[in-house]
Structure 1
Amino acid sequence: MSVASEYLQLQRQSADELVRQHAPLVRRIAYHLMGRLPPSVDVSDLIQAGMIGLLEAARNFTTGRNASFETFAGIRIRGAMLDELRRTDWTPRSVHRKVREMAEVVRQIEIETGADAEDAEVMRRLGMGAEEYHAALADAASARLLSLSAPDDAEGGAAFDVADGESLGPQDSVEHEGMRRALVDAIGSLPEREQLVMSLYYEEELNLKEIGAVLGVTESRVCQIHGQAIVRLRARMTGWTEQVEAGNRARATGKSRARGS
């Protein structure tokens, strides 16, 4: 056996051992995510995707990295699970449409009043009762619980994408950084209670029950507050996304004219 063949065999053995040792990490991450997902999501699908992420991490890990393998693998495993959730987006198109409608109403109210849109006025303009409105807020939270990165449905609307910056081109990187700044500003403008829920959910990664215990409210109330924050963020990000889309159209027109000249 050549030196190269021996080296490759040792690499494969090392990767296989890392996968065996860290398989429980996949289940732990999967069940942690399940605490933040609807019952319709199958944990076995997450585990399967996570095992693929673990295998890729084992193959690509080098001892010269600053992070430990568990930290490195955890990022890959979680990323693979989120990719699977995005790919199989469980949210019906009707929910996406409803979220867009709610966000547009919130935007109109806040433009007119210069203040946070109140639930009562949003419900009045949408023609919704309290029960239907709160159910729509819960749906809004589910439609956007992947760190504000799940894709929109094919009918349009802006996604709050948080893609890997290293994979972006120069223009995409500028837009990506602009989106991050706009999103940070939008979150900072939320009512205090909504800001707190967003921080506990997305930064501290507490589930709704745990957040309810912190705030002293029910899990369903946390879900409503979360949904309110998502709808309000979408409304307040609309101006930024419209600017980006206008810029993209202008660049496309310029390129078309350049090719025709």
Structure 2
Amino acid sequence: MVELEHQELWELFWSERNPEAAGPLIRAFMPFVHNILSRLAINLPSHVRTDDLLQCAVVGLYSSIERFDSNQGIKFETFASKRIRGAILDELRNSDYMTRTGRTWLRKIEEAMQAWSAKHGQLPEENELADALGVSTAELEAIIDSAQPWISLDQAVVSSTGDRDVFLKDIIADTTNPGPGELVEREDIQKHLRSAFKRLAVREQKIMYLYYFEELRLAEIAVLFDLTEARVCQLHAIILLKLKAMINEYATGRRK
């Protein structure tokens, strides 16, 4: 069992297990929720208000409190962060903030990456991807900028059995307790993800490690690489698209 922050509040909740008992914990973790919102807000379109997303973020927090098991040996923040992010991103998708044009371009980028990889045995660099799409590098960067909120670990990849979606967020730093059948499939995809990660450029690997495992902000990563924060945001989005394309390659049997 890990040592918990706000131990007394947890004990109160575990003794009652109802929304009223969860209230003090929700209030205690609101700064954590606001921090997640502020990180996501960097890439949100200007017309999306973070205040509108706060309610679904709190729902994600409450769900995390209900499902958290301290005996699993992980911090609550680690357990809750992806569920809160997932609740926010679900709301963005369900509210259809992304334009039809944006969705079309995102699909074209994914298809172009997979087609290039099938032909050349490797994923395209940005200039090669731009050429394949018939746009300039600057235009590609603008497209990526507009799509960033929807390019995340919450993107689905096909499963190895092909009968359901698997989500990147569930195979990177996973903290859930899958059943035996799902565990076998997830371990298989995790193996492919490790292989895909090794195919990334060294700088791309470092960005992913610093952001998802060291939990540095994109602004902090930008300083380390002497880049602008906007450029790191673009690179992060492109890396996630590459990972999705590679996982889909493995899952559909194009690469062993």
Q: TM-score, normalised by structure 2?
A: 0.69
Aligned to 1:136: 143
Aligned to 1:215: 225
Counterpart pick for 1:97 among 92, 101, 104: 104
Aligned to 1:149: 154
**Change in 2 beyond 3 A, CA 1:115/1:34:** same
Distance apart, 1:215 and its partner CA:
0.9
Structure 1 unaligned segments of length 5 or more: list them.
Answer: 1-7, 245-261
Distance in 2 (CA, whole Å) between partners of 1:61 and 1:108 is 41
Aligned to 1:242: 252
Aligned residues, how many?
A: 227
Deviations 1:47-87 (A, max 9, x none): 3234445545666678x84769xx43773465144224224
Aligned to 1:166: 177
Deviations 1:123-156 (A, max 9, x none): 22211022211112334543222xx22358xxxx
Distance apart, 1:212 and its partner CA:
0.7
2:44 alignment partner AA:
P
Q: What does residue range 20-39 of structure 1 map to in structure 2 within 5 Å? A: 20=24, 23-37=27-41, 38-39=43-44
SS at match of 1:149: coil
Q: What does residue range 4-43 of structure 1 map to in structure 2 within 5 Å? A: 11-12=15-16, 16=20, 19-20=23-24, 23-37=27-41, 38-40=43-45, 41-43=48-50
* Percent identical: 23
2:92 is aligned with 1:82? no
Distance in 2 (CA, whole Å) between partners of 1:86 and 1:200 is 25
Q: What does residue range 173-184 of structure 1 map to in structure 2 within 5 Å? A: 173-184=183-194
**Change in 2 beyond 3 A, CA 1:192/1:114:** same
2:92 alignment partner AA:
T
Distance in 2 (CA, whole Å) between partners of 1:74 and 1:212 is 23
Distance apart, 1:13 and its partner CA:
9.6
Q: TM-score, normalised by structure 1?
A: 0.68
CA RMSD of the aligned region, Å? Answer: 3.8
Contact 2:36 2:81 in 1 (8 A): no
Structure 2 unaligned segments of length 5 or more: list them.
Answer: 1-11, 158-163
Aligned to 1:251: none
Distance in 1 (CA, whole Å) between partners of 2:17 and 2:120 is 65
Q: Whose helix proportion is higher, 1 or 2?
A: 1
SS at match of 1:33: helix
